[in-house]
Structure 1
């Protein structure tokens, strides 16, 4: 059986890794040319890390880097299973929530969380693919039908890939989802984020293993920072655009001035991070989500990751959910025919992602109206139900 995956991000690459055995022929189609995917960094908890550890234990192929515009070349080498310490990213052991004046609101231990740069995780997954699995410079255009059945995916560069099953793993603005499910009714998240990575070895070492967040108690404004390597920290500014907003960003200087102005009353540490940041690589993210679809599949096409379900960022579950989608779908496809596999996958995953969607919206509402709760009852911006069960 040949499976054509549309989208070479984390969801698509994870699925390809799980399916690349004698039972399946897998082709991953990525819109970018050559380079490993962009983005900054994210938090991942034990569910996602267990998927990475499973892949690391099963796979023995390691890639050699190819020229930027070429295919990714692979060679087979012997390799011992990777331990948690050798997985990408930095261990995050504690979460500390403070007010801008320095008052500590919460200080909680975190069990097996990591901060991982997106480029590192994508490379980790690329490196475990077999030769000729990836096709780059392929931006999805449309499906090709024969007798009311999808038989191929066509791409804007004129190339076509025939297959038996097709997987839409092309992100929150999925063109696969749009073609088969119609226009998505996005729900505005009412919160925006500025995201960046600051280069500051001294601060990265000082705050190693700690997710620090400063959040106002009278309005929706917060600043968070997590070391992502020995000399870098990923940071974000979450804000209610009704407080203040910037309609367009014409230059990095304009974006930096906006952040400095909103965070002027935050502690000096925040200013140090902003001064260490290259704002030409930062961006404003307008958060949004959509209600859970009635199905993740249509005939011989199935959606995974953000293409199937997009949630607000407050739960830090997006990447983990994408990897769990891939793991579960692959397991089902190996055990049953594809209609049953798709149905089982939806029943198992839709319930959990629906819970994360509701939790994300609840955390968003508390963020926008922080004075509604006393400090000791403020929920932390992670998968709170998992942490409460400790």
Structure 2
């Protein structure tokens, strides 16, 4: 069976890694040329890391089988270092006020801060080059007798297949082609994100996710070391407080410095170390849970299927869990049953993430209405497990 995956981001690459070599021919179609870039870094907890560990193990097994078939020398211990997971361990979360007062402190069990480029490279490296097609931006499906038989792309390429998976992100063209335009709901919060290079800060705060948040309005600054030299940072803000008409590099920097004027010197030091030409404003949004994640022989995974607000720190993990579950179902049952089972299992969890994300957003926008001792930690795992 040939599976055509539209979108070579984390969701699509994860699915390809789980399907390839198990009676499936897989083609990943990516709009970029080469491994996709974009994005900066994110938190991933144990659920997502377990998916990465499975992929690394599968890659080792395939390599070992290939070595045996070729009567090659046994694989050396270097495979262990090759398969080390990307990112840096994050062991604790600290929520403070701008004056430095700590409101919450939470130990984190097996969380990592991972740069998006590192993760995509990790996933790409486990796939044969023949499974990837670049420079393919999806435009339409081709039908025969009311059944989709191929996907068409802007460059004129056409890819035929048996199943088609939309893994092309929150603004999915696949979703729009089959479900129509998506009604997005404004997240009412914007977020400036960037990566700063500062060895001293990265080493000093290694293993800690620090977030400084005002107690009277929606404004926060957070940072997490992503390596020994770099750290990912973000500034979340309520655009009702202040906003930008233009997002030029100089104006974005001035805007961040103005909003961070009364925050700790750490925030200013990080802004001093940041390259604002690579920073951007993320306009948060979500949409209601779809009535299905599939249509005939097409299914959606990741942000194409469900988009939640960033407060839950679960978007990437959700995409990888989607991919693993869908792959497992396809190996065990016919595709209509596999798609239905996938939706039944994931839609409830997705709905819970959506609800929690909006609740955390409301806390962020109106912090004074919530007692500090009841202030919710904006991390998904513990909150969902304590429902």
Query: TM-score normalised by the shorter chain: which range applies?
Result: over 0.9
The separation in 2 between residues aligned to 1:194 and 1:93, in whole angstroms, is 24
Structure 2, unaligned runs of 5 or more:
64-72
The 5 A counterparts of 1:16-165 are: 16-60=16-60, 78=75, 82=80, 86-165=84-163
Shift of 1:248: 1.8
For residues 206-285 of structure 1, the aligned pairs below 5 Å read: 206-249=204-247, 251-285=248-282
Q: Indicate which of 367, 380, 383 corresponds to 2:380.
A: 383
2:67 maps to: none
Equivalent in the alignment of 2:187: 189
**Whole-angstrom CA distance in 1 between matches of 2:179 and 2:257:** 42
Kindly tell me: are residues 257 and 155 of structure 1, through their superposed partners in 2, closer, same or farther at Cα, counting changes over 3 Å? same
CA distance in 2, matches of 1:150, 1:336: 20
TM superposition shift of 1:315: 0.3
Question: Cα gap change, 1:83/1:292 in structure 2, threshold over 3 Å: closer, same or farther?
Answer: farther
Query: How many pairs does the alignment contain?
Result: 376
Name the one with the larger helix percent. Answer: 2
Q: Distance in 2 between matches of 1:101 and 1:84?
A: 43
SS at match of 1:110: strand
1:371 to 365, 368, 371: 368
TM-superposed CA distance for 1:82, in Å, is 4.8
Q: Could you say what the CA RMSD is over the residues aligned between the two structures, in angstroms?
A: 1.9
**Cα 1:85/1:131, change in 2 over 3 Å:** closer
Counterpart-to-counterpart distance in 2, 1:85 and 1:293: 36
TM-score normalised by the chain length of structure 2: 0.94
The structural deviation recorded for 1:388 is 6.9
Contact 1:168–1:301 (CA<8 Å) still a contact in 2? yes
In 1: Cα distance, 2:74 partner to 2:360 partner: 46
The reply to whether residue 10 of structure 1 matches residue 7 of structure 2 is: no
Q: Distance in 1 between matches of 2:19 and 2:58?
A: 12
Q: Which runs of 5+ in 1 are unaligned?
A: 63-75
Is the Cα contact below 8 Å between 2:35 and 2:124 reproduced in 1? no
Question: What is the TM-score normalised by the length of structure 1?
Answer: 0.93
Deviation at 1:131? 3.3
Distance 1:257 1:116 in 2: 28
